[in-house]
Amino acid sequence: MHTRRDMLSHSAKVAAMLAAMGMLPALAQAQAGSWNAAAFEAKNIDELMKALGAAAPAQSPDVTVTGPDIAENGAVVPVGASTTLAGVKRMLLLVEKNPAVLSAMFDVTDAVEPNFSTRVKMGQSSNVYAVAMMNDGKMLFAQKEVKVTLGGCGG
């Protein structure tokens, strides 16, 4: 059980190291100052939490993820993350089965509600997560399954 997790943790460290040296191609391209390359390259939730220096998240009824039960097209899937809780630092949108698990990350200020909607790409049917990163370091999530159907004609 632990082997896989350790390995992932190790590869995350390597990625972070390469990142620090500017050796990952995507990182080399990173232009925006604070863009967290390691987080956006994380292949799974464990890797992502490590890249963010966060603890494993716990499910919470106070966090809501919105999305359709079925997406007619994986190229555009409307999703949203919100919470009723105060003291939120960031809201994250994750697609479990995408090549990179993190889709978007929103920094919350006192001037905005912790409620963000966007549209993501999904390569296949997957769980979608909304994660609230709290000021006290807690990570709270909600998840739902979104099915992606085949388009017509297949060609």
Partner 1 sequence: MRKTSIGAAAGLAVVVGLAGCAALAPSPDYDAMLAEMMKTSFRGEGIATVDRLQQDASNAECSKSVGKPLPQARAQAIEQANLATVKMPSDGKFIGDWKEGEKLAQNGRGMTWTDKSSATASNGGNCYNCHQLSKSEISFGTIGPSLYNYGKIRGVADPADPAAKPIVDYTWSKLYNAKAYNACSGMPRFGHAGMLDETQLKHLMALLLDPKSPVNQ
Partner 2 sequence: MKPSLIACALLSAAMAAPAQQKSAADGIAEYRKMLEDGNPAELYEAKGEGLWKQARGPKNASLEQCDLGKGPGKVKGAFVELPRYFADTQRVQDLESRLLSCMQTLQGFNADEIAKTPFGKGEQANIEALVAYVSAESRGMKMNLPQGHAEEKKMFELGKRAFFYRAGPYDFSCASCHSEEGKRIRMQDLPDLTKNPGDGIGYAAWPAYRVSSGQLWGMQRRLNDCFRQQRFPYPGYASDVTIALSAYMGVNAKGAESIAPALKR
Partner 3 sequence: MADPMRIRAQAAGDKTTVRVLMAHEMETGQRKDASGKPIPAWFIQEVTAQHNGKTVMTAQWGPAVAKNPFLQFNIKGGKAGDKIAVSWVDNRGEKRTDEATVS
# residues contacting partner 2 (CB under 8 A) = 30
Cβ neighbours around 138 below 10 Å, total: 16
- Between CA 148 and CA 72 the distance in angstroms is 6
Buried b (16+ CB within 10 A) or exposed e, 47-70: bbbbbbebeebeebeebbbebeee
Instruction: Kindly state the smallest distance separating residue 44's Cβ from partner 3, in Å.
Output: 14
Instruction: Kindly state the smallest distance separating residue 150's Cβ from partner 1, in Å.
Output: 5
- Residue 115 touches partner 3, criterion: CB under 8 A: yes
Instruction: Say which residue the tokens 């296949």 belong to.
Output: 124
Binding positions for partner 2, rule: CB under 8 A: 45, 55-59, 68-73, 75-76, 78, 96, 119, 127, 141, 143-145, 147, 149-155
Binding positions for partner 1, rule: CB under 8 A: 149-150, 152-155
